[in-house]
């Protein structure tokens, strides 16, 4: 799938699509890790970032889910 450097719009669109896919895959993997009881330190090591960076990027989703569950009661 070689792209010509003369087609920057196509190349940039592909980069954006790949970033979105990678972000979605990361979210799914972190969701699975949390569901399996992984710590934020373990998740961070797997992602190659600090514990704080992993927590900052992903923890809000779990707080939001917890709030929704509490609201359903």
Q: pLDDT value at position 35?
A: 95
Of residues 4 and 34, the one with the higher pLDDT is 34
d(CA 41, CA 55): 9
Model confidence pLDDT, tens digit, residues 5-63: 669 999 999 999 999 999 999 999 999 999 999 999 999 999 999 999 999 999 998 88
Residue with tokens 């970033």: 19
Query: Which tokens in the block code for residue 31?
Result: 């969701």
Of residues 57 and 1, the one with the higher pLDDT is 57
Q: Does residue 2 carry a pLDDT above 70?
A: no
Contacts (Cβ under 8 Å, ≥6 apart) of 18: none
Domain definitions of the chain by residue range: 8-72
Q: pLDDT value at position 62?
A: 87
């Amino acid at each position: 799938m070689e792209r010509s450097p003369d087609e920057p719009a196509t190349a940039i669109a592909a980069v954006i699509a790949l970033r979105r896919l990678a972000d979605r895959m990361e979210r799914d993997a972190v969701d699975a890790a949390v569901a399996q009881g992984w710590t934020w330190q373990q998740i961070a090591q797997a992602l190659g970032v600090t514990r704080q960076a992993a927590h900052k990027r992903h923890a809000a989703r779990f707080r939001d889910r917890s709030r929704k569950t509490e609201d359903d009661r």
